[in-house]
Amino acid sequence: MKRTPEPELMQSPSQVRAYADADFSRSDSMVIQSLEKYLKKVGKTLNKTDLIFDIACGPGNISERIAKNWPFVNVVGIDGSKEMLNEAENKLLKSLSKNLSYQLIEINSIAKGETHFPFKADVLVSNSALHHFHDPYGFWGALKKLGKNKCIHIHRDLIRPPSIEKAFEIKEKHLSNSPEILKKDFYASLKASFTVDEVTQQLIDAGLSQLKVFQVDELYFEIIGCI
Ligand SMILES: C[S@@+](CC[C@H](N)C(=O)[O-])C[C@H]1O[C@@H](n2cnc3c(N)ncnc32)[C@H](O)[C@@H]1O
List of residues 6+ apart from 22 with CB closer than 8 A? 178, 182
Q: Model pTM?
A: 0.97
Distance CA 125, CA 57 (A): 9
Q: What is the mean pLDDT of residues 186-207?
A: 98
CA of 222 to the centre of ligand 1 (A): 17
Mean pLDDT of 117-135: 97
Give the Cα separation of 56 and 8 in Å (integer): 10
Cβ–Cβ < 8 Å for 60, 102: yes
Average pLDDT over residues 64-89: 97
Q: What is the CA radius of gyration of the chain?
A: 17
Beta strands in 74-207 (DSSP E): 74-79, 100-104, 121-127, 147-158
Torsion, Cα 32 37 38 44, to 10 degrees, reads: 100
Cβ–ligand 1 contact at 77 (below 6 Å)? no
Residue with the smallest CA separation from ligand 1 atom 8 is 127
Q: How many angstroms separate the most distant Cα atoms in the chain?
A: 48
Mutational pocket test of ligand 1: of 79, 110, 220, the residue with most ligand atoms within 8 Å of the beta carbon = 79
Please give the mean pLDDT across all residues of the chain.
Answer: 97
Rounded to the nearest angstrom, the distance between the alpha carbon of 92 and the centre of ligand 1 is 18
> Which pLDDT value is given to residue 96?
84
What local confidence, expressed as pLDDT, does residue 46 receive?
Answer: 96
Please report the atom of ligand 1 found closest to the CA of residue 9: 25
Which strands, in side-by-side order, build the sheet including 147-158?
A: 100-104, 74-79, 51-55, 121-127, 147-158, 220-226, 212-215
β-pairing verdict for 74-79 and 100-104: parallel
| Span 182-203, average pLDDT | 97
Q: What is the residue with the minimal CA distance to atom 12 of ligand 1?
A: 56
| pLDDT value of position 122 | 98
Write the pLDDT tens digit of every residue in 180-190.
Answer: 999 999 999 99
What are the two backbone dihedrals, phi and then psi, of residue 162, each rounded to the nearest 5 degrees? -70, -25
**pLDDT the model gives residue 202:** 98
Read off the pLDDT of residues 149-191 as tens digits, 9 standing for 90 and up.
999 999 999 999 999 999 999 999 999 889 999 999 999 999 9
- What is the Cα–Cα distance from 180 to 65, expressed in whole angstroms? 27
The β-bridge partners of 167 are none
CA angle at 130 for the pair 140 and 215, rounded to the nearest 5°: 105
Residue nearest to atom 2 of ligand 1 (CA): 58
CA 46 and chain centroid, separation: 20
Q: Is the CB of 107 under 6 A from ligand 1?
A: yes
Instruction: Tell me the CA–centroid distance for residue 17 and ligand 1, in Å.
Output: 14
CA of 172 to the centre of ligand 1 (A): 23
Task: Write down all domains in the chain, each with its CATH number in brackets.
Answer: 13-38+49-226 (3.40.50.150)
Establish whether residue 106 lines the binding site of ligand 1, counting it when its CB lies within 6 angstroms of any ligand atom: yes
Instruction: Please tell me the residue having the least CA distance from ligand 1 atom 13.
Output: 56
Query: In sequence order, what E strands does the chain have?
Result: 51-55, 74-79, 100-104, 121-127, 147-158, 212-215, 220-226
What is the C-alpha separation between 28 and 113, in angstroms, rounded? Answer: 30
Mean pLDDT, residues 12-36 taken together: 95
129: CA distance to ligand 1 center in Å? Answer: 5
